[in-house]
Structure 1
Amino acid sequence: MKFEHGVYLVTEPSGDLAAIVANAVAGGVDLVQVRDKGASTGALIEIVQDLRRRVAVPIVVNDDLDAAQHAAGVHVGVDDLPPSKARRVLGPSAIVGWSVNDPGQLDEVEEMRACDYVAASPVWATHTKPDHQPPLGLEGIRAIAGRTDLPVVAIGGIDVARAAGAVAAGADAVAVVTAITRADDPRRAVADLVEAVREGRGRR
């Protein structure tokens, strides 16, 4: 998995989802994760299929393995199905991402081998997931990035003001929800995030 621009969109339920995603991709998003904990598998499949017709970047699904079979892959959390199971079901060409709440997860060799990237989660507190684990902070990103060759995505409380710092700490990309989905101009918001990622890479 290569994050060219370093911006990863995680969606939230919205009546304007297709337009938001299309504009975000036009701004430079590398990967889109469809996340809607209240949606049925059938609804998720419909969303994925619609987005795949509209944009060329990979679309992955949060947690739902059945819906993920209609997408480019899946992202799973610590309390979801393990990455190794996702890999067995989806096959070698699928994208499999895993949220890392504790650097100790990196010692789980079988699970790490199944992943294409890991997400340091959460870096900062975020209201989009109020039941999250304690924030890792920039030191958490450094700890995770220093122990794996997989791409590391920083997620949780990321906005344009924090993106450069997260990347300078070792993240290869930033995963963003509301700073894109609730922006007046999602395309511009992503372009600003891409610039912040570029700045962060220059500070390493």
Structure 2
Amino acid sequence: MNFTHGVYLVTEPVDGITDIAVAASRGGLDLIQVRDKTASTAQLVEIAGMIRSRAGVPVIANDDLDAAAKVDGIHVGVTDIPPTRAREALGAEAIIGWSVNDIAQLDDVEQVRACDYLAVSPVWATPTKPDHEAPLGLEGVRAIAGRSPVPVVAIGGIDLERAAEAVAAGADAVAAVSAVTRASDPHQVVRALGAAVSRGRIR
């Protein structure tokens, strides 16, 4: 996975999410993950397909192999199907991401090799996912980025200042949810996040 802009959008089930994601894509996104734990596979396919056709960037589904097969790949968490199974089901060209809540996950070399990126999750506490694991902080980003053979994405509590800090700590990209989906101007927020990523890369 090539994170040129360094900004990755994870959607949430809010009104107008397709238009939000499309507006955000114009600010410079590398990837969009469609995440809605209440949606059926058919609903995920419909939403992800609409976003994909209009946004012009790769779109992956969260934890749904059937939906993922209709788009560009899948993101899985620690308690979801393992990346190796996703790779076997979706093939070599699919984008596969895996949430890392504990650096010990990198000891499972087979799972890591099945991934295109790892998401350090969460870096900071986030209201988007109140049941998340303990935040890993910048030290967690440094530790995981230092060992990962694939790109690392920082997610959880990302704002403009933290985006730069996470990238300076070793992340290749940042993933945002509510900072974009609940913004009055998603396009400008994504542009600003991209600028923050650029600052982090030269620190």
**Count of matched residue pairs:** 203
Report SS of the residue matched to 1:146. helix
Percent identity between the two aligned chains:
64
Q: State the one-letter code of the partner of 1:45.
A: V
The corresponding residue for 1:2 is: 2
Report SS of the residue matched to 1:190. helix
The corresponding residue for 2:86 is: 86
State the Cα deviation string for residues 15-60 of structure 1 (Å, max 9, x = none): 2111111111000011000000000011001111111211210000
Does residue 48 (structure 1) correspond to residue 55 (structure 2)? The answer is no
Deviation of 1:176 after TM superposition, in Å, equals 0.2
The alignment's C-alpha RMSD in Å is: 0.6
State the Cα deviation string for residues 40-86 of structure 1 (Å, max 9, x = none): 01100111111121121000011011110011000000010000000
The corresponding residue for 1:146 is: 146
The corresponding residue for 2:70 is: 70
Q: Normalization by structure 1: what TM-score?
A: 0.98
The corresponding residue for 2:109 is: 109
Deviation of 1:161 after TM superposition, in Å, equals 2.1
The corresponding residue for 1:134 is: 134
CA distance in 2, matches of 1:198, 1:132: 28
CA distance in 2, matches of 1:134, 1:103: 13
CA distance in 2, matches of 1:59, 1:151: 17
Deviation of 1:109 after TM superposition, in Å, equals 1.2
The corresponding residue for 1:14 is: 14
Q: State the one-letter code of the partner of 2:14.
A: S
CA distance in 2, matches of 1:62, 1:159: 22
Report SS of the residue matched to 1:183. coil
The corresponding residue for 1:201 is: 201
CA distance in 1, matches of 2:44, 2:18: 13
Q: Normalization by structure 2: what TM-score?
A: 0.99
Report SS of the residue matched to 1:138. helix
The corresponding residue for 2:26 is: 26
**Structure 2, unaligned runs of 5 or more:** none
CA distance in 1, matches of 2:53, 2:175: 22
CA distance in 1, matches of 2:160, 2:40: 32
Deviation of 1:103 after TM superposition, in Å, equals 0.7
After TM superposition, the runs of 4+ consecutive aligned structure 1 residues lying more than 3 A away are none
Q: State the one-letter code of the partner of 1:183.
A: A
CA distance in 2, matches of 1:181, 1:50: 16
The corresponding residue for 2:184 is: 184
